[in-house]
Amino acid sequence: MSKREKSFCYDVVILGGGPAGAATALSLREHAPSLSIALVEQSNYSTIRIGETLPPTVQPLLEQLEVWPAFLKQEHTPAYGSCAAWGSDKLWSNEFIFHATGHGWHLDRRRFDAMLAREAVSRGIAVYADTKVISSKASDRKRWHLTARDSSGASISIDTSFVVDATGRRAVFASQQNIRKVFLDQLLGVCVFFNLNGRTPFTETYTLVEACEEGWWYSALVPEGKLAVCFMSDADIIKKYSLHSSAAWFELLLETQHIKARLQKAEPVTSPAVRAAYSQRLERMTGDGWLAVGDAATTFDPLSSQGIFKGLRSGIIASYAIGDYFKGSTSSLEKYEAIMASEFEAYLETRSAYYGQEQRFADSPFWQRRHNQITLAPKEMLCLTEAARKRVRLERLAMHLPLPDLKLLCQICDAPREAQEIVSEFRARRRSISDRRIILALQYLLSEGIVKAATV
């Protein structure tokens, strides 16, 4: 070992110190106090993080983690609901006023995440900030060996019995284990920050959403009195119209009604920045001595405003699974996987219903994709193409279903069969997946040239 290398050993190492990772650590400390826990965070919590509106329903989770008083002391900006021009040009409101607290919060994510990390330290959890995990590998003793590097460049060697991937949508650890991601769309956000240049304080604390033909817009308060304004659309649409450029972005902004009006006393202070916002999930969210939480496991559409809530909740559920794992339970990780998968399926149904409320732009590719149009006739005869039989193209499939499920769907299509028969047989083997999702996956296989219409 070099003089600059440090070596440590823990029962559980959590990679990622955001809400999901911190919630896992805090809940695990309470649920399994005998375990030694480390939290490894790449940042030092000093840079601005895109915030989110926390709904009032987050209170029970923060109370369960015993950080509610610390959260209230931070005095985040109250959020009284959201307004949306969705389905029509008129704004409709979603009020928080009927909840016991009367409001939610516009988070300063930098302060919120740092508070959770401080709480973890105060409870005896080792927190490594400004530290990046470089590699991970399984050892012969059914343990994991992690190599990390801190801000000074010093190497850190960590051995652990269990790893939690809380690295966000990049899912760094899971990717190192060759776990694939399943994508449901190609949504990106192109964001610009604005300063409020009027002398009158900005009092509109509502998150504002406005649909348009190419996608949708939202604006929300962020720390330091700024407004974040994002245009949300698919990657190919953003590329087609060069919406990552200032000229095209602001030209499209001028076509809005409510977002434009909100920015009358504001001036841009950044250029457009592109951020991933697509819905995805890992093919497997657990494995031998590891699991994924938060956005590393599943990501939700920003429309849901559930990112942080979901992260906190999944961290708490994960802590129970990990605690039971160390008690010798052979099914705890399977149960966690089933809960996360079921939650994702329920989210997809809600997402489909919400996008279905916007019917003004029937000819728009963006909205057609989200309306999940069923074009496949039930009695359409389908079968595999020759290329698919040679398994030439299967490995690059990434949309709608995990690769093993897409392969099963292909297997069922080996001989010509009616679409409705294929769906029925697949559903008999994968009961948790809806008929609609199976049909959309079949349509995807058709568009990719994996399955074709059969002649009989």
92-95/37-40 β-pairing: unpaired
One-letter amino acid identity for 348? L
Are 134 and 162 spatial neighbours (Cβ–Cβ below 8 Å)?
A: no
Q: Within 241-300, where are the H helices? A: 246-253, 258-262
Beta strands per DSSP E along 34-88? 37-40, 53-54, 77-79, 81-85
Question: Is residue 414 helix, strand or coil?
Answer: coil
What distance in Å separates the CA atoms of residue 298 and residue 439, rounded to the nearest whole number? 22
Give the CA distances from residue 8 to residues 123, 126, 142, 211, in Å, rounded to whole numbers and listed in that order. Answer: 19, 10, 17, 51
Task: Provide the pLDDT for residue 392.
Answer: 57
Pseudo-torsion of CA 173, 179, 183, 187, nearest 10°? 20
Domains and their CATH numbers in the chain? 6-75+103-181+280-353 (3.50.50.60), 187-276 (3.30.9.100), 374-453 (no CATH)
In this prediction, the residues of the chain whose per-residue pLDDT falls under 70 are 1-4, 49-51, 95-102, 198-204, 390-393, 456
DSSP 347: H
DSSP track, 170-226: G-HHHHHTT--EEES--EEEEEEEEEE-SSSPP---SEEEEEETTEEEEEEEETTTE
Pseudo-torsion of CA 180, 300, 346, 364, nearest 10°? -100
What distance in Å separates the CA atoms of residue 260 and residue 242, rounded to the nearest whole number? 20
Locate tokens 């949504």: which residue? 187
155-165/6-15 β-pairing: parallel
What distance in Å separates the CA atoms of residue 14 and residue 325, rounded to the nearest whole number? 15
What distance in Å separates the CA atoms of residue 20 and residue 105, rounded to the nearest whole number? 18
Give the CA distances from residue 396 to residues 62, 143, 181, 402, 440, in Å, rounded to whole numbers and listed in that order. Answer: 41, 31, 11, 11, 17
What distance in Å separates the CA atoms of residue 258 and residue 240, rounded to the nearest whole number? 25
What distance in Å separates the CA atoms of residue 87 and residue 163, rounded to the nearest whole number? 44
H-run or E-run covering 147:
strand 144-150
Query: Angle CA(53)–CA(56)–CA(57) in degrees, nearest 5?
Result: 110
H-run or E-run covering 443:
helix 435-447
With CA atoms as reference, report the closest residue to 362 among 213, 252, 232, 240: 213
Task: Provide the pLDDT for residue 265.
Answer: 81
Phi, psi (5° rounding) for residue 232?
-110, 125
Task: Provide the pLDDT for residue 167.
Answer: 97
Task: Provide the pLDDT for residue 4.
Answer: 63
